[in-house]
Structure 1
C-alpha cells in the first residue's frame, strides 16, 4: 500500500512539473514596484499602427485582500494619460481576474532574477485574445530572460513572429526593489495590461 501511495504521489509531482517546470506563480511581495516592459506578444496580429513602439514602465501596488493594482501610462492625443487596472486575487496562486472576470492575468516568476511574465487570457472587442508581457526591474534587455519568455510563449502557442520589443521611455516611480533609474521621458504608445491598444 505504501509503495502504491508513493508511486501515485511521485507520478503526480512529475506530471505537475512537466506542465511548466520553469515558471512558477509569483508571490505578491515579489511583484510590487515599478517594472519595465521588455517584450510583448499576442495571439492576434495587431496592425502596425496599433503595435506599441515605445512604452512607459508600469507600477504594481498591493491592495487589501491580496488584490493588486497596475498603473500604466500612455500617450493619447499628445498628452500623458494614466490607466489603473485592479486585479482581484483568485484561489489559484498567481492568477488574478480583471474587468469583472472577463480577463484573467497570470503573473509568473522566471528562472532569471528580477523578471516576470504577465500572461493574460480574455475578451477584447468580443473576441478571445491571449497576450504575454516580459517585465524586469530595469530597462536593459536580458537575453536570458528573453529566451525564457520565448520558450514560455511557444508553449502557450503564441506566434513567435508577433513578439515586439518596444523602446523604453518615461520615468516610473521607484518601487521597493528598484532605483530611480529610468530612460529619458518621451512620447509613447502603450497597450494596457490585458492587451487593449491605447486609443
Structure 2
C-alpha cells in the first residue's frame, strides 16, 4: 500500500512539474487549485489489492520561489492520510524535481478544456519508474480528454491494459471499524 500511495503521490507531482508557477504572472495558464484524477497508467500493472479504488482531489499551490506545493489525500487500511510535496522549478520550462531530485515531473495541457497530463519519472534503486495521470479541473468524465490521454500514454510507451480509471470522491471519510 505504501508503494501505491507513493506512486499516486509521484504521479500527481509529475503533473505539477510541467507548468511554471510564475507563469501566473506572465499570462500563461494557472495550474494552481483543485485537480481530479480521471485516469492513471504506470510502467506495470498494479496488483488487484494495491490498485486505488477511490481517488481524492489534489490541491496545488504556487510558492514564491517558482516551486509548487501539491497536497494529496489517500486512504490506507481504512484511514485517511494527507501528504504534501514541494516541486522545485528547474531551468527547463514546465519541469520540476521532487524528493531530493530523484523525481522529475512534467505537466502538459491537453486540447480538451481543463485537462492536463501529469507525467513523472522516479529513480529508485537504479531503476526508473514512470507514471502518468489524466487530471481535470472538475470530477466530471470527459471522453475527449480520456482519448487524448490514451494517445499520450501510447506515445510514452505505456501499455493500455495498465490504465486505471478510479472512482472519484470529493473527500476522504475514514472507514468505520
TM-score when normalising by structure 2: 0.80
The two structures, once aligned, show a CA RMSD in angstroms of 1.7
For residues 5-29 of structure 1, what are the alpha-carbon distances to aligned partners after superposition, in whole Å with 9 as ceiling and x for unaligned? xxxxxxxxxxxxxxxxxxxx53434
Partner of 2:123: 123
Aligned 1:27-176 pairs, distance under 5 A = 27-28=20-21, 29=24, 30-124=30-124, 126-171=126-171
Q: Distance in 2 between matches of 1:79 and 1:70?
A: 20
Deviates more, 1:117-126 or 1:162-171: 117-126
Partner SS for 1:141: coil
Q: Distance in 2 between matches of 1:145 and 1:123?
A: 28
Q: Distance in 1 between matches of 2:115 and 2:174?
A: 25
Tell me, which stretches of 5 or more residues in structure 1 are unaligned?
1-24, 172-184, 189-199
Q: How big is the shift at 1:74?
A: 1.1
| Residue 26 (1) aligns with residue 19 (2) | yes
Q: Distance in 2 between matches of 1:187 and 1:106?
A: 32
Q: How big is the shift at 1:127?
A: 2.9
Instruction: Give 4+ residue runs of structure 1 displaced > 6 Å after superposition.
Output: none
Partner SS for 2:100: coil
TM-score when normalising by structure 1: 0.71
For residues 66-108 of structure 1, what are the alpha-carbon distances to aligned partners after superposition, in whole Å with 9 as ceiling and x for unaligned? 1001100112232211101110011111110000000100011
Q: Which has the larger radius of gyration?
A: 1
* Contact 1:169–1:187 (CA under 8 A) maintained in structure 2: no
Tell me, which stretches of 5 or more residues in structure 2 are unaligned?
1-17, 25-29
